[in-house]
Amino acid sequence: MNAVSVEITRPFPRTWVEFVDPADEQQVLRCDLTWLTSSYRCIFGAGCRGIDASRPDDGCCVLGAHFSEPADEQRVAGHVARLTPETWQNHELGKDSWVIDDPDAEPEEDDEDALPGRKTRIHDGVCIFQNPPGFPGGTGCALHGLALEEGISPIETKPDVCWQLPIRRSYRHMEHADGTPWLEITIGEYTREGWGPGGADLDWYCTSNPEAHRGGDPLYLTSRDELVELMGPLAYQELCRLAEIHLTRGAMPHPAGGKP
């Protein structure tokens, strides 16, 4: 491999924008324009060095995918049923045992429906859905490949955490001065810190690395499907309007790549 680019130092100045959700006046979207107008691209298979240096071909898939809720797992199960030995190398091994309980994980305190510790199985050091280089059915996630084969978006076939990364959505319950409740929804960069204590130990990470900031169009356009799913179509339209204004001003570009 070529010399590794120097990862930028965090934190750094960012531009944020807030606006009321056009679909729900009790929700406010808080969006990181520095990230969403960046030139970031996922470079899996095109320069990605992987979060584990010993497995550079496996990207960020070495830990398996934790399911966000029962519906997430159930949705993925429907797509797993359509995988075949031709599209998934571990089909025979994993077709009936691709999800496991992780006793080290704990459910979110504010999510009674969460499945504590439910995640995709790890096989040979990587998520069981990961097809290795040279597999005739295609390298990488079998669920991602299924979506491409069927002409649908990967957000339909993959676990939530997989298609959302490296965009992060978080919630905060707030109150106005008069006691009226409202919900703050933050849409931003899934930085190393988002991985928890282990984030600092990742051998390589894309969002803060110039190697992954060489795209053409800005992220809010190339990740349209993901953002519409995360914030709703009306809020996405407003984000686009505000992002265009931000780009014309040339203010606060992402230091890993500057303006697209």
Residue 112 shares a structural domain with residue 189: no
Residue 66 shares a structural domain with residue 49: no
Distance CA 145, CA 168 (A): 23
Query: In total, how many domains does the chain have?
Result: 2
Determine the pLDDT at residue 216.
Answer: 86
* pTM metric for this prediction: 0.89
Determine the pLDDT at residue 1.
Answer: 45
Residue 147 shares a structural domain with residue 190: no
Q: What is the pLDDT along the chain (260 residues), one digit of tens a residue?
A: 455 568 888 788 999 999 999 999 999 999 999 999 999 999 998 999 999 999 999 999 999 999 999 999 999 999 999 999 999 999 999 999 999 997 666 655 555 555 467 999 999 999 999 999 999 999 999 999 999 999 999 999 999 999 999 999 999 999 999 999 999 999 999 999 998 888 999 999 999 999 999 888 999 999 999 999 999 999 999 999 999 999 998 776 787 776 55
Determine the pLDDT at residue 60.
Answer: 96
Residue 189 shares a structural domain with residue 252: yes
Determine the pLDDT at residue 117.
Answer: 78
Residue 76 shares a structural domain with residue 3: no
Residue 196 contacts residue 181 (beta carbons within 8 Å) = no
Q: Residues for the chain: how many in total? A: 260
Query: Which of 102, 128, 160 lies at the terminal end of a domain, its last residue?
Result: 160
Query: Which of 114, 139, 160 lies at the terminal end of a domain, its last residue?
Result: 160
Query: Which of 134, 160, 186 lies at the terminal end of a domain, its last residue?
Result: 160
Beta strand segments in the chain, E: 16-21, 24-32, 99-101, 118-120, 122-123, 126-127, 130-131, 140-141, 167-175, 181-189
Domain extent at residue 17: 1-53+165-260
Angle 244-247-251 from CA coordinates, rounded to 5°: 140
Residue 222 shares a structural domain with residue 254: yes
Residue 120 shares a structural domain with residue 106: yes
Residue 38 shares a structural domain with residue 6: yes
Distance CA 163, CA 157 (A): 9
CA distances from 154 to 141, 147, 174, 225 (A): 10, 5, 33, 9
DSSP 4-17: PPPPPPS-----EE
Residue 134 shares a structural domain with residue 170: no
Residue 219 shares a structural domain with residue 135: no
Determine the pLDDT at residue 257.
Answer: 77
Residue 141 shares a structural domain with residue 186: no
CA distances from 166 to 25, 140, 160, 194 (A): 27, 17, 11, 10
Residue 141 shares a structural domain with residue 169: no
**Residue closest to 142 by CA, chosen among 124, 159, 130, 154:** 130
Residue 53 token pair: 């240096």
Residue 84 token pair: 């075949």
